[in-house]
Amino acid sequence: MDRPEWAPPGIDVERPSAARLYDYFLGGSHNFAADRAMAQQLLATAPDIPLIAQANRAFLRRAVQMLAESGIRQFLDIGSGIPTLGNVHEVAREVVPDARVVYVDLDPVAVAHSSVLIRGQEGVAAIQGDVRKPGDILHHETVRNLIDFTEPVALLVIALLQFVRDEDDPAGIMAQLRGALPSGSYLALSHGVVDGWRHDKEMVKNLYSRTTTPPASRTRADVAPFFGDFELVDPGLVWVTQWRPDQPSKIDGIKAAKSAVVAGVGRKP
């Protein structure tokens, strides 16, 4: 049955979701048989995916830590996923105990899971939202209540935009989101790209197309414009493992270029 336009997105546990696949790749069990079956297919084609997911997640941790240390007290995490290990509010609050965080995801299960996880915690909220409708997110009551848009905000768009296709105008979406932030705000962004990818691109794309959020193919060069006029902090837009690694070592288990994810943090002038 086709859902009418005005219906909220539903839950189809038979259909793999990017959020639950990602959880699986991070070693989590917050997933269903359909997700695991597809994950196995993806792993057969691209056995590096778990390492890539880990590297991305580690970037998120490092970026949030750095932002909190720079004095940011409020975080808007869009495409936040299923709460896994090292969630933004946990990382941020180690540095800024009263940091405020709003998690936004399209996946209703991810949102429900987040809400349960943060229940009873002040200053943290999870809402369902679609980044393709940035206005709805920015004007969401919860967002307005928790985030003060006159104070610097950290906008987290981590491993999200590869699920937003060009026809949905990601450039316009990002411009609108950036525009809503006051000077001194930050954008932390990572994006899966096809350069550096040494596995079967088509196969992976086809598999992901069966999820609720079919993917887009972008290159490193396509990602830089998402920062607009934000000034990239060191080391700029780099492979995700190269962004301020904890220690200069090969210990990450994956070579930089093979991570197939670029990442950066920009500051609004």
Partner 1 sequence: MIVEPAPRGFTDGSHITRVARAWARAVAGASYVPMAHVDIELRLAGFTTRLLRVLTSQPFDPSPATQIGVELVEAHFASPETLGHTINVLADRLPPLAGTSLDSSGRRVMRVLSALSVGYTRGLRERTLDEQESIRQATVLAQLQTEHALRESQEAFRHAAVHDQLTGLPNRIFFEKQLADLIEAGGARHVAICFIGITSLQAITDRFGHVLGDKALTVTADRLRTLARSLGHPLARFAGDQFVMLIEDPAGTPHLAGVADQIIATLSTPVHTDRHLLPMSASIGVVDRPVAGMDANDVMRAAGMTLQWAKAEGTNRWQLFDQARSDREIAKHALTADLAGGIDRDEFFLEYQPLVRLEDRAVIGVEALVRWHHPRLGRLSPGRFIDLAEESGQIVRLGGRLLDKACRQAREWAKLTDSPPYVSVNVAVPQLRDGAGLLRTVDNLLQEVGLAPELLQLEITESASIPDDPQLRRTLDDIAGLGVRLALDDFGSGYSNLGYLQNLPVNQLKIDMQFVRDWKPSSTKSLLPSLVKLAHDLRLSALAEGVETLQQAEYLESIGCDHVQGYYFGKPQAASSITSLLLEWSAEEI
Ligand X SMILES: C[S@@+](CC[C@H](N)C(=O)[O-])C[C@H]1O[C@@H](n2cnc3c(N)ncnc32)[C@H](O)[C@@H]1O
Q: Per rule CB under 8 A, is residue 17 in the interface with partner 1?
A: no
Task: Specify burial of residue 256 (Cβ count, 10 A radius: 0-12, 13-18, 19+).
Answer: middle
* List 16, 18, 153, 233, residue binding ligand X (CB under 6 A): 18
Amino acid at 145: N
* List 30, 100, 132, 267, residue binding ligand X (CB under 6 A): 132
Reduced to 3 states (helix: H, G, I; strand: E, B; else coil), residue 92 is helix
Contact indicator for 112, 191 with CB cutoff of 8 Å: no
Q: Per rule CB under 8 A, is residue 109 in the interface with partner 1?
A: yes
Calpha distance 90→222 (Å, rounded): 32
In the block, residue with structure tokens 């943290």: 124
Q: Per rule CB under 8 A, is residue 179 in the interface with partner 1?
A: no
Please list the alpha-helical segments (H only) found in 163-237.
Answer: 170-179, 201-208, 220-223
- CB-based contacts of 34: which residues, under 8 Å, 6+ apart? 13, 14, 15, 16
Smallest separation (angstroms) from ligand X to the CB of 150: 25
Partner from ligand X, partner 1, none binding residue 108, C-beta < 5-8 Å depending on class: partner 1
Q: Which stretch binds ligand X (CB under 6 A): 17-25, 145-153, 221-229, 246-254?
A: 17-25
Q: Per rule CB under 6 A, is residue 213 in the interface with ligand X?
A: yes
Q: Per rule CB under 8 A, is residue 183 in the interface with partner 1?
A: no
Distances (CA, A) of 251 to 26, 64, 248: 17, 21, 8
Task: Specify burial of residue 59 (Cβ count, 10 A radius: 0-12, 13-18, 19+).
Answer: buried
Residue among 76, 40, 68, 258 nearest 160 (CA): 76
In the block, residue with structure tokens 């490092």: 62
Q: Per rule CB under 6 A, is residue 105 in the interface with ligand X?
A: yes
Q: Which of residues 79-98 bind partner 1 (CB under 8 A)?
A: 82, 84-86, 91
Please, which residue, 47 or 182, has the CB nearer to partner 1? 47
* List 39, 42, 52, 60, residue binding ligand X (CB under 6 A): 60
Calpha distance 75→153 (Å, rounded): 6
Calpha distance 161→133 (Å, rounded): 13
Q: Per rule CB under 8 A, is residue 33 in the interface with partner 1?
A: no
Please, which residue, 8 or 269, has the CB nearer to partner 1? 8
Q: Which stretch binds ligand X (CB under 6 A): 32-40, 44-52, 124-132, 141-149?
A: 124-132
* Residues near partner 1, by CB under 8 A: 4, 6-11, 13, 20, 26-32, 50-51, 53-54, 57-58, 61, 82, 84-86, 91, 108-113, 115-116, 246-247, 249, 251-254
List interacting residues with ligand X (CB under 6 A): 18-19, 22, 56-57, 60, 78-81, 105-107, 110, 130-132, 158-160, 163-164, 213
